[in-house]
Amino acid sequence: MSQSFEQYFAQGEEEKKKLSQKERKNLKLREKIEEMEDIVTRMEKEGKTSEDYQSINELIQSIEELFEEKERNYEAEVKTIVANLEQALEKGASKIIVARALVGIGTKESMALRERLLEEVRLLEERGDKDAAKDLKVSIACGLAGVGTKEAMELRERLLEKGVDNEYVAWGLAGVGTKEAMELRKRLLEKGVDKDYVAWGLAGVGTKEAMELRKRLLEKGVDKKHVAEGLAGVGTKEAMELRKRLLEEGVDKKYVAWGLAGVGTKEAMELRERLLEKGVDKEYVACGLAGVGTKEAMELRERLLEKGADKNDVAWGLAGVGTKEAMELRERLLEKGADKDYVAWGLAGVNTEEAEEFRKKYFADDPNLFARSYMTIWVLYNAVVCRYGYEK
């Protein structure tokens, strides 16, 4: 079998820096073709079965979908997001929500908006409203998840100077695996930062350096469940082996299910099935499907709903998935009474024309709800589903 998309991202920083959307698509295509070759080889050795033919037909369909898949225009997406957040602010949206909703975006305009929010921090401090100022600074730090640009790293340093707790800066490094980000994590650990936040803040980072850091954190007594959660968005062989080890060491299965967000490999789907068989709550599996829009994932969502999974958790677990089927499911969930907050959070990372129309249709009358639709409620998931090319 070839490397999965997540496995490719476990390679060194220099090897992955130039990965374009076209190369990602080619990598997925190669994976599907080699999977088909494996099935054909097995059929020649062990005989043909109806399941094999079904698998081949499904792979052919997947390949056709890849050829039809349009490359995302990140520049246009983030331009729309920032403009919409500016409008939401003008209409009275919470500055805290807007700060967090800038997740994954590192444009000049987004950084300028963050600076305006920092100015608001200064005004709050002058008025003596220290709690509100602290909350806004924390939100700015968390809203930098998925952004590894030079400007973002400099802003993190300034936030530390302004007294933002080390933990929130570590948390807001989620999705960023650059050399500079790894060095900052090291410095924060040397300063005594809570190791749990560093473990969480490794979500979406599957490099060799990140996996080694997870190992060191475990050796130093970090809570294992946070390592499991912080594996979100990482589907490498090493990450799957670590999940297995954590389960064997007694980590609650729900945290492993949560930490499978953004991983749609065959191995990950099989692990979800085993977790369900062992009694993990359906809601955790539903949430942990965030960022996975495969046919198998959509079918699992339907099965979970049939078995009584909470509609809100299924809605939230649609974050990062913008397929036709996902949009139709959101409509159905709303019709069946799903909470708009969860549907909004579950629209994070989806910025298609259909998604923007959906926002206008259901959230336009509520600036806070509209702004929330560009982020999930959890920094870890933000780093996995709100990725627009500014991670490095």
d(CA 285, CA 293): 14
Q: Average of pLDDT values for 147-169? A: 97
Let me know: does 344 contact 54? Beta carbons within 8 Å. no
Q: Average of pLDDT values for 152-164? A: 97
244 and 225 in a common domain: yes
143 and 14 in a common domain: no
75 three-class SS: helix
pLDDT band at 9 (very low <50, low <70, confident <90, very high): very low
Whole-Å CA distances, 155 to 89, 171, 173, 205, 252: 21, 15, 12, 21, 36
pLDDT band at 191 (very low <50, low <70, confident <90, very high): very high
159 lies in some domain:
yes
d(CA 384, CA 61): 26
CB atoms within 10 A of CB 61: 12
The per-residue pLDDT for 17 is 39
169 and 22 in a common domain: no
| Residue positions counted in the chain | 392
217 and 89 in a common domain: yes
Q: Average of pLDDT values for 156-170? A: 97
Note down the domain range covering 237. 74-385
Let me know: does 136 contact 162? Beta carbons within 8 Å. no
> Terminus-to-terminus CA distance in the chain, angstroms?
29
CB atoms within 10 A of CB 131: 9
Whole-Å CA distances, 369 to 241, 243, 347: 39, 35, 11
Whole-Å CA distances, 192 to 156, 179, 187, 189: 17, 20, 9, 5
pLDDT band at 286 (very low <50, low <70, confident <90, very high): very high
pTM to 2 decimal places: 0.84
DSSP readout, 173-205? TTT--SHHHHHHHHHHHHTT--HHHHHHTTTT-
67 lies in some domain:
yes
DSSP readout, 263-318? --SHHHHHHHHHHHHTT--HHHHHHTTTT--SHHHHHHHHHHHHTT--HHHHHHTT
376 three-class SS: coil
Tell me the torsion sign for CA atoms 360, 366, 368, 373: negative
46 lies in some domain:
no
4 pLDDT exceeds 50? no
160 and 95 in a common domain: yes
Closest CA to 374 of 311, 365, 358, 389: 358
3 pLDDT exceeds 60? no
64 pLDDT exceeds 90? no
Interhelix angle 74-90/108-126, rounded to 10 degrees, is 30
Whole-Å CA distances, 245 to 57, 92, 260: 35, 47, 15
d(CA 374, CA 82): 10
116 and 259 in a common domain: yes
179 and 166 in a common domain: yes
Task: List all residues 6 or more positions away from 250 whose beta carbon is below 8 Å from its beta carbon.
Answer: 224
Number of domains observed in the structure of the chain: 2
123 and 19 in a common domain: no
354 lies in some domain:
yes
117 lies in some domain:
yes
25 and 103 in a common domain: no
What is the Cβ-side half-sphere exposure of residue 50, based on CA atoms within 13 angstroms?
A: 0
Structure tokens given for 140:
């700015």
The least confident of 3-12, 16-25, 357-366 is 3-12
113 pLDDT exceeds 70? yes
67 and 78 in a common domain: no
The per-residue pLDDT for 380 is 94
80 and 12 in a common domain: no
The per-residue pLDDT for 67 is 56
d(CA 123, CA 236): 46
Matching residue, tokens 């490099």: 207
Closest CA to 13 of 239, 215, 206, 213: 206
392 lies in some domain:
no
d(CA 90, CA 272): 43
51 lies in some domain:
no
Let me know: does 307 contact 338? Beta carbons within 8 Å. no
The per-residue pLDDT for 318 is 98
Q: What backbone phi and psi angles, to 5 degrees, belong to 20?
A: -95, 170
104 and 64 in a common domain: no
365 lies in some domain:
yes
Mean pLDDT taken over the chain: 90
C-alpha 375 chain-centroid distance: 10
